[in-house]
Amino acid sequence: MGQRVAVFGAYGHTGRFVVTELRERGFVPLLLGRDESRLAASGLAYRVASVDDPASLDQALIGADAVINCAGPFASTAAPVIEAALRAGIPYVDVAAEIEANVDTFAHFGKPARAAGISVVPAMAFFGGLGDLLVTTAMGDWTSADEAHVAYGLSSWHPTAGTVAAGAVSRERRADVVAGIEPQQQTRRAHATGCAGCQPSAGAIVSASVRSRASASSSDELSDCTTGRK
C-alpha cells in the first residue's frame, strides 16, 4: 500500500484534482473537510475536520504521511493546518496564491519548521510552484540572480467561487495595510492574480526570466525559460 496523504478541502475544485492525481500515482488519499456528506459521497476514506477545531485536525492527521491543503482562503486555513502538521510531525504542502498568506507562512512557520525538520511548502500550484520551477530551470547552474520575472498568459480564465473568496480576503488585507491597520512588513512589492482554483481553458503560456549583473563576461546576462500548454 502506498503512503497515505491527507487532503484538506478534498471535495473542492482543486482538491478533487489532487485526490485523482494521488490515486493515479499510487498514493492513498485521506479526504478531510467540514462537510461529511460531501466527503462520504466520494466513496474513499475520510475524516471530518475543521480549522476552527484543532483537536479535529489532530485526529484527522493520525496515520497520515503528509497533508496537502487545498482549502482557501488560505489566510484562514493555512496556519491551523500547518500547526496540526507540525504537531503530527508530517510535511505540509498547499496551493495558495494569496501573497499575504504565503508571506505569513514564511514569517511564522519558517523557524519552527526548520527546528522540527519538517517541510512546510506553500504555493505549490499553477501560480507559485510552476513559476518557481521555471526560474530554477532558467537559472541553470547559477547560484543566485538579481532579478526574476514570471509572466502568465491565459487565453481565458474562469475563477471558482473559492478563488473569488480568496481574492476578496487578499484585497481586504492589502487595504488594511494601506490604511495602517497592519504594519508593513514586506520590503518589496509583490503582485499576483488568480490561484490554484482558477480554470484556464483553451491554453496557457508561462515564461520566466532571470537576470544577473554579476557575470564576469557581461554586465547584464539574461536567461529565460518558457513552457506552453494547449
98-113 pLDDT, tens per residue?
888 999 999 999 999 9
What DSSP designation does 184 have?
Answer: -
Q: What is the pLDDT of residue 168?
A: 81
The residue written with cell numbers 485526490 in the block is 19
pTM equals 0.76
Q: Find the range with the poorest average confidence among 102-116, 163-177, 190-204.
A: 190-204
Superfamily holding 4-121: NAD(P)-binding Rossmann-like Domain (3.40.50.720)
Q: Give residue limits of the domains in the chain.
A: 4-121, 129-157+165-229
Q: Is the pLDDT of residue 34 over 60?
A: yes
As beta bridge partners, residue 67 has 6, 92
**Total Cβ atoms within 10 A of residue 61:** 26
* Alpha carbon of residue 151 to chain centroid: 18
Q: What is the dihedral of CA 59, 60, 61, 62, to 10 degrees?
A: 50
Interatomic CA distance for residues 82 and 102, integer angstroms? 12
Interatomic CA distance for residues 80 and 105, integer angstroms? 11
